[in-house]
Each structure stands twice: as C-alpha cells, then as structure tokens.
Amino acid sequence: MSDGAGCVPGAPGEGDRQTVVVIGGGFTGAVVAHQLARRAPARFRIVVVEPRSALGGGVAYSTADPAHRINVPASRMSFVPSDPCHFERWLKADGALVEDPEAVTPDGRAFPRRQVFGRYAAETMEPYLLAGAIEHRRDRAVSVDRSADGGCVVHLAGGEAVAASFVVLAATHPAPAAPAAFDAVLGDPRLIPDPRTAPRSTPSRLTRAF
C-alpha cells in the first residue's frame, strides 16, 4: 500500500467538506476520527475503513478472554486526550468494576479487562456513527492511488473506491524487531525478536539453551 503522501487538501469532498479516510479503526484510527469529529464538526467527511465490527478495539481491546487486562491503570487510559478521567467516569457509570473486584489493586488502581476498554471505546464512538459524523466501512483497504484531480483514492477489498483529500494510515504498529545491538546474533534460534512467530517448542529449547 502506498503511504498516501501528496493528497491535495481541497480535492474530493461533499459540498464544502473535505474527505478524510482513516485506514484502520483500532484505538489510533478511532481516536483520530473522534478528535476530527469533535474538534472540527461538519468540516470533514470522515470515513474509517476497518474490517472489525466495532471501532476502537483493534488488536489489543477486541479480545474476549477475561484474563486479558489493560496493563496501564484506567486513570491513564482515556479515549479523550483533553479529558483524562473520561474512562474512569465511564467505568463508574457502567458498573464494570462491580462484577470484577479483582480489577482493583490494594492501592486503588483499576486494571479492567481489555474487552471492557474495547466496549468503552466503541460506546464513545457510537453517537458519532449514529449521527453520520463518522462513517464505518467494514472492509480492508488494499491500495491508495493519486486521483486525476489531485486527491487520493482508497481502494477497498470489496471493490469500493473512496475519494479522499487526506488519508490517515492507522493500520497498526510495526511488528516487533530486535534492537540494532542484536544485529550480530540475528538468525540465532535462541533470539526471538517477535514472540508471535516463535516455534511452539520455544520454552523448553530456551531452558536448555540458557
């Protein structure tokens, strides 16, 4: 996929609005869309391309496993940067901690389940989706081209092409990689830069190796 650089502001839009296409509706893409919709209402047509059913959950917060918890206290995990207590207030109103007392540590910090944060993110996005301020395309972007009129066109796997003045790439962070200091031992089976690609037998091999 190209990086979309060079899209011209003022190209495709609806009426006076410029179109922003956000590729990826995990936490990052959803927050970008949410901020645009809040801070510049009616200025942009905002389209989020995300194959998952809900926006805001992404890889980290779409898990259904109750053992998966956020690893940063709730007090530091707001969806709204200008409102640091936004998630904590939502938690209280929702009551998610009442049925999950283990979420609160003895010093009072809350580490709710990651699926709870995903639900919070989706619920925060919902009014904007219902109002049409943000559009969710349940699809996958496959390429971005320059259009003849100077804007961009985002092509989706389902065949749709969305014209854009701006394209935001929010389709996750790069895969883990070993720091440069490990260059000399790259390729050694005992070095596992990306645990997701580790062989299943890794723990016992590691035990023997070290």
Ligand X SMILES: Cc1cc2nc3c(=O)[nH]c(=O)nc-3n(C[C@H](O)[C@H](O)[C@H](O)COP(=O)(O)OP(=O)(O)OC[C@H]3O[C@@H](n4cnc5c(N)ncnc54)[C@H](O)[C@@H]3O)c2cc1C
The span from the CA of 52 to the CA of 193, in Å, is 28
Closest by CA position to 153, among listed 12, 51, 42: 12
Contact between 2 and ligand X (CB under 6 A)? Answer: no
Cβ atoms of 181 and 166 within 8 Å: the answer is no
- DSSP-H helix ranges across the chain: 27-39, 58-61, 86-94, 114-130, 202-209
In DSSP notation, 138-155 reads -S-EEEEEE-TTSSEEEE
Q: How far is the CB of 209 from ligand X (least distance, A)?
A: 26
Q: Work out how close the CB of 186 gets to ligand X at its nearest, in angstroms, rounded to a whole number.
A: 23
**24 binds ligand X, rule: CB under 6 A:** yes
The token pair that represents 30 in the structure block: 């959803």
Does 140 contact ligand X by CB under 6 A? yes
Question: What track of x and - describes contact with ligand X for positions 57 through 76 (by CB under 6 A)?
Answer: -xxx---------xxx----
Contact 37, 47 (CB under 8 A): no
Per rule CB under 6 A, count of chain residues that contact ligand X: 24
- Restricting to residues 80-139, which ones interact with ligand X according to CB under 6 A? none
In this chain, which stretch among 25-33, 39-47, 181-189, 192-200 interacts with ligand X, using CB under 6 A?
A: 25-33
Residue 149: half-sphere exposure toward Cβ, Cα within 13 Å = 9
Stretch that binds ligand X, among 37-45, 171-179, 182-190, 196-204 (CB under 6 A): 171-179
Contacting range for ligand X; rule: CB under 6 A; set: 7-15, 52-60, 86-94, 195-203: 52-60
Residues that bind ligand X (CB under 6 A): 23-29, 49-52, 58-60, 70-72, 77, 140-141, 170-173
